């Protein structure tokens, strides 16, 4: 009995990963393109600042990890990832509007070290969600994908722990 599935070769995993990252970036861009009034932007910014006040690296990491774990759910996880990305994009627009940073590209925050790690981690989680749908639909034995999924969860957790520590430094 083979424990690790050969259904998804390294090349196939890379394709799914690229699709996950691309889906996250597209959803983020859609969220960032939402037009907000000054009042809406100020309200979203106020709520965000209240949520992150004194949160620290542990809080940022745990929040991101909980969201990423949800992204591993078959099918639903990809939708959660897209929603999270769109919400993050809209938050960027709100902050840019509130602080008069319209000249800053919404993708600029994703070009930071923590932004890159988060996009890669979320893309990996979303890609596994898609692969799990395939494996469930094909009625593949769970033993074939349990170990690769656990490894990817560990990778995502480590990436988000590092990203949270770096992001906390940026915020302070």
Task: Judge whether residue 57 has pLDDT over 80.
Answer: no
Task: Judge whether residue 172 has pLDDT over 70.
Answer: no
Cα(first)–Cα(last) distance of the chain, in Å?
52
- pLDDT mean over 41-62: 87
pTM, two decimals, is 0.88
pLDDT digits (tens, 9 = 90+) for 120-132: 999 999 999 999 9
* pLDDT bucket at 1, cuts 50 / 70 / 90: very low
DSSP run (H or E) holding 61: helix 56-71
CA distances from 110 to 56, 132, 140 (A): 19, 27, 36
């Amino acid at each position: 009995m083979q424990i690790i599935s050969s259904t998804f070769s390294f090349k196939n995993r890379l394709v799914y990963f690229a699709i996950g990252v691309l889906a996250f970036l597209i959803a983020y861009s859609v969220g960032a393109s939402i037009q907000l009034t000054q009042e809406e932007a100020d309200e979203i910014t106020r709520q965000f600042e209240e949520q992150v006040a004194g949160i620290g690296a542990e809080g940022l990491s745990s929040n991101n990890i909980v969201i990423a774990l949800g992204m591993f759910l078959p099918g639903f996880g990809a939708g959660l990832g897209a929603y999270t990305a769109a919400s993050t994009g809209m938050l960027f627009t709100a902050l840019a509007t509130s602080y008069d940073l319209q000249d800053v590209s919404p993708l600029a925050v994703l070009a930071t070290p923590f932004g890159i790690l988060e996009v890669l981690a979320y893309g990996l989680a979303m890609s596994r969600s898609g692969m799990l749908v395939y494996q469930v639909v094909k009625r593949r034995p769970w033993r074939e994908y349990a170990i690769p999924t656990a490894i990817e969860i560990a990778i995502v957790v480590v990436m988000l722990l590092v990203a949270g520590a770096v992001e906390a430094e940026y915020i302070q």
